[in-house]
Structure 1
Amino acid sequence: MKFFILLVFVFGTLSVLINGMPPISKDYNTHCRCLQVESRIIPPDSLMSIKLVPQGPHCPETEVIAGLTSGEKICLNPRSAWVKKLVQFILSKQLHHQGGAPPKNQA
């Protein structure tokens, strides 16, 4: 009987190792965050933050989540022309900002 329990335990462990386990962290999400997306243009003074969530195993689409000054968070349609321009602007601004910073010394 002990041999049977040990055998079941070993096969269970092998099954988990072979199939893999998803990473465990607070940021790991197994599904898309955006169930509905907005295509309407949001005035720039209403935008407080923009978060880009790249596509991955959790979601086949890139997600653009806007934080509004009202505290509300909405998902923007990444296929809308104005959202594409906004994303390009943010990415170019980040790239320019990173390019202007002096390189960090590595120890």
Structure 2
Amino acid sequence: MQAIEHRSLESVISAGRAELNAYMAALLLQPRLHTGDAVVVPKDRLRHYIRSAKEQLRGRQGTVQYDAGVNQYMVAFEATDDRPAFEKVIPLANLEKVSD
């Protein structure tokens, strides 16, 4: 028989728990948004959307309308020359506040 080297279950669980705790801490430390805040969806987070939504969101700055519950916000985007105005509920994790 050949011995198989592997990490113990405890070390795997503790490593996973540490990663989960870091993720949860990052979520809790995210800034809250307020009505009227200017926001964008950063390029690295556009991959979470279907192609048509990506085209609507790419390069556009929106305004937070209200808190839509559990870390989600209703964001209004104004019309541009080639794209119509629209509103969309977007998770906080996919938004970035535009610095003043």
Same topology, TM > 0.5: no
Higher relative contact order, chain-length normalized (CA < 8 Å, sep 6+): 2
TM-score, structure 1 normalization: 0.30
Structure that is richer in strand per residue: 2
